[in-house]
Chains A and B, each alone.
Chain A
Amino acid sequence: DTEVTQTPKHLVMGMTNKKSLKCEQHMGHRAMYWYKQKAKKPPELMFVYSYEKLSINESVPSRFSPECPNSSLLNLHLHALQPEDSALYLCASSQALAGAGETQYFGPGTRLLVL
């Protein structure tokens, strides 16, 4: 089973709201990722967790706050977002980090609209 699940599928929020995106995998993977994807563009890496510790932060604004409560779960907390943050947010997981040649498996994404 190579399934990564994400909730919610769609999210509409105002610029003053606080919301969270959730990601879950049960493949025993130890690396998890958040990507942001704009329409017809490649995914842009935001955060990488390895063994539940933040490994990479791609200079993401502080209005995005990741959290890895355990090895199966990854959250992305959103606060005071801007309309330009509207995008598809993808979660991925892999057995180990990318440099080991491990395959990243992606979830279906959360379509976020910031009004």
Chain B
Amino acid sequence: AQSVAQPEDQVNVAEGNPLTVKCTYSVSGNPYLFWYVQYPNRGLQFLLKYITGDNLVKGSYGFEAEFNKSQTSFHLKKPSALVSDSALYFCAVVNTGFQKLVFGTGTRLLVSP
């Protein structure tokens, strides 16, 4: 079985401050991990993914995520938040040979001016 937990329904941060959106996962075997962002009434946009290799993954729009195998986490980070980053963020996981991408419940990020 595989699952993803996003423990925070909402994260509030001031513009210019660093942001973190948390994600932990549970899989049997090696995980493939993804972050997607969704703006209102839009589809999901791919931000970044971890497959193998360097634990720090850099993605679109200045976002990055760190894979931590011992803590089974894949937190999304950005050094300086923008108001335009306000959106719904989904973490997702799939393990090798399993065909279904499993999403977390989502975290709403609100960046205040």
Contacts and interface: CB of A to CB of B under 8 A. Distances in A.
Given A40-B88, A104-B101, A106-B44, 9 more contacts: A4-B43, A40-B106, A42-B90, A42-B105, A55-B99, A88-B41, A99-B94, A103-B34, A104-B46
Interface residues of B, number: 26
Contact of A41 (B49, B95, B105): B105
Interface of A: 2, 4, 6, 40-43, 45, 48, 55-56, 88, 90, 92, 97-99, 101, 103-109, 111
27 contacts: A40-B106, A42-B90, A42-B103, A43-B44, A43-B103, A48-B100, A55-B99, A56-B99, A88-B41, A90-B43, A92-B44, A97-B99, A98-B94, A98-B100, A98-B101, A101-B96, A103-B34, A104-B46, A104-B101, A105-B46, A106-B36, A106-B43, A106-B45, A108-B42, A109-B42, A109-B43, A111-B41
A101 B49 contact: yes
Interface of B: 32, 34, 36, 41-46, 49, 51, 88, 90, 94-101, 103-106, 108
Contacts, number: 64
B46 to A, nearest CB: 5
A111 B43 CA distance: 11
